[in-house]
Amino acid sequence: MALSHRYDAIIVGAGLNSLACAVHLCAKGWRVGVFEQAATAGGAVKTAELTAPGFRHDWAAMNLSLFAGSAFFKLYGDDLVTRGLEFAPVSHCFASVFDDGRWMGVSTGPGETRARIAAFSDADARAWDRLNADFPGTAEYVFALLGNSMQMHVQGRLLAKALLRKGFSWTADLVRLLVSSPRKWLSETFESDQVRATMAAWGMHLDFAPDMAGGAVFPYLEAMANQNFGMVIGKGGADTLTRALVARVEATGGEVHCGKRVARVLRAGGKATGIALEDGSEITAGRAVIANVAPGGLMTLLDGQSGDAVFDTKMARFTHAPGTMMIHLALDGLPDWTASEELKKFAYVHIAPSLDQMARTYQQAVAGQLPDEPVLVVGQPTAIDPSRAPNGKHVLWVQVRMVPGEIRGDAAGIITDTGWPTVKEIYADRALDMIERHAPGLKAKIIGRTVVSPLDLEADNPNLVGGDQIAGSHHLSQNFLFRPALGHATGKTPVDRLHLTGASVWPGAGTGAGAGFMLAQKLGGK
């Protein structure tokens, strides 16, 4: 595609939020140019043959449920489907396996999940019933919170609505859920350690170890949403979404340029006027420059200074979560889970046997140690979508959470090297040994293997600092009004016409495209 040198808006980065933002601005008549340093668009949402021909692996993100339920999809979904977007529905969503040979899982079938919970505790089955009964009323407000701009007047209206309709006690309980740690909420709600651990594993997807305040809402939402609505992944790979978005942008006058690294934002008179590419080209933006970058990346684009020292300090103090390592496997067959053949039906199987183990893993990673027993998220996409592999074959998508971006040591005292280029293969063996204990014979089924270290993730996408797949911790001090910093949750910066978007901005990580879509509505109108 020929490169224009003038646009209404320039977007730095071609991740999901960028593309959603570009789609909406183009729909409002803006001429938009998207510039991506990687060879392909999508950021964390892309798919490639990483191990062997015919085996399609999601590079990072696999679960597209947030996008399927988003306000953006409600507006543009029909068009995206005509451009190739296709989902594969999931009814057996997530499960956990335990060292005693038992397992627990959440599915959509009538009574399935309740029966599994009852096998651990009748009291917990009754608690599950109560949560399900209350979920529609709670979800209305939680999804409204997550789906609206983080501005005081907007959230104030939502709070007033809850107080008026539900009363003080109900509203206070909701606020308490939002600020509770996973351990606190789960311990108050369930008595079974296994049921608690199954739910708590979802907190580890978003930097919420069991004792982190503000983390309870994520295990709650994932469990309830999966029970009630199921899950979706991309048919053929997560890049079905990226390709459809790019096609929509280009069909409506926008341009997406990959392999174009942006070196800095151009400014004049306190306003952002465009960008300079690494090759020296300068591109003009008449109305806005939108940076889908982490706060540290924004400061790099501004040569270290925005003109507001307070803002610069806030960006410098932005905290990233521990890293993630990915293991992609091409297999002759799905894992033979000892606990149950049923586990072969699940999109995700967690190996995270207890709250204490998750807490220990997190603390080890934060301290720079390779955890002795990391949390494993074992994705089985071909159990849902066989088209991702040759007939009768499978892919396995394994997230190793959490690991340090910079290795200071090994909590197990075995690995002495501290360089990821060498350590990643050794540490992958530790993770595969953990899976092998629950699914003997896995290693014999491996046709091909690719290990992606935290630094490999960052090299592909600089927003994932140290392999932080959520582009910044979601702890309370850096969430809601404070994401990425107080006064800037809408992406506002001190530089006129320069805006920040992406997972580092409210509502944060995930595939909901909320930050990009809300910014586009603010700039171009709803």
Q: Which of 454, 38, 9 is nearest to 239 (CA)?
A: 38
Locate the DSSP E strands across 26-76: 32-36, 47-48, 57-58
- In this structure, are strands 6-12 and 282-292 parallel, antiparallel, or unpaired? parallel
CA distances from 236 to 37, 49, 229, 382, 395 (A): 25, 11, 21, 9, 12
Where is 9: in which H helix or E strand? strand 6-12
| 525 Rama sector, left if φ>0, alpha if ψ -120 to 50, beta otherwise | left
pLDDT of residue 89: 98
- In this structure, are strands 394-403 and 323-331 parallel, antiparallel, or unpaired? antiparallel
pLDDT of residue 1: 62
- In this structure, are strands 47-48 and 348-351 parallel, antiparallel, or unpaired? unpaired
Angle at CA of residue 78, ends 155 and 71, nearest 5°: 5
pLDDT of residue 70: 95
- In angstroms, the first-to-last Cα distance of the chain is 29
The token duo for 487 is 């006064």
pLDDT of residue 514: 95
Domain ranges of the chain: 6-46+67-87+237-318+470-524, 111-229, 322-460
Burial of 183 (0-12, 13-18, 19+ CB in 10 A): buried
Q: Which of 498, 500, 497 is nearest to 489 (CA)?
A: 500
Asked if residue 154 lies in contact with residue 247, where contact means CB atoms within 8 angstroms, the answer is no
CATH code, residues 6-46+67-87+237-318+470-524? 3.50.50.60
Rg (C-alpha) for the chain, rounded Å, is 22
Q: Which of 429, 454, 439 is nearest to 394 (CA)?
A: 439
pLDDT of residue 120: 98
List of residues 6+ apart from 439 with CB closer than 8 A: 335, 336, 337, 338
Q: Between the CA atoms of 16, 19, 25 and 29, what dihedral angle is there, to the nearest 10 degrees?
A: -160
The position carrying tokens 């305040």 is 213
Chain centre to alpha carbon of residue 289:
24
Asked if residue 37 lies in contact with residue 315, where contact means CB atoms within 8 angstroms, the answer is no
As a whole number of angstroms, the distance between CA 216 and CA 181 comes to: 5
- Tell me the pLDDT of the chain (526 aa) as tens digits: 667 779 999 999 999 999 999 999 999 999 999 999 999 999 999 999 999 999 999 999 999 999 999 999 999 999 999 999 999 999 999 999 999 999 999 999 889 999 999 999 999 999 999 999 999 988 888 887 887 788 777 777 878 887 888 888 888 888 899 999 999 999 999 999 999 999 999 999 989 999 999 999 999 999 999 999 999 999 999 999 999 999 999 999 999 999 999 999 999 999 999 999 999 999 999 999 999 999 999 999 999 999 999 999 999 999 999 999 999 999 999 999 999 999 999 999 999 999 999 999 999 999 999 999 999 999 999 999 999 999 999 999 999 999 999 999 999 999 999 999 999 999 999 999 999 999 999 999 999 999 999 999 999 999 999 999 999 999 999 998 999 999 999 999 999 999 999 999 999 999 999 999 999 999 999 9
Q: Is 228 helix (H, G, I), strand (E, B) or coil?
A: helix
- HSE-up (13 A, CA, CB side) for residue 44: 29
The token duo for 348 is 């995700």
Please give the full DSSP string across 393-404, using - where no structure is assigned.
-EEEEEEEEEE-
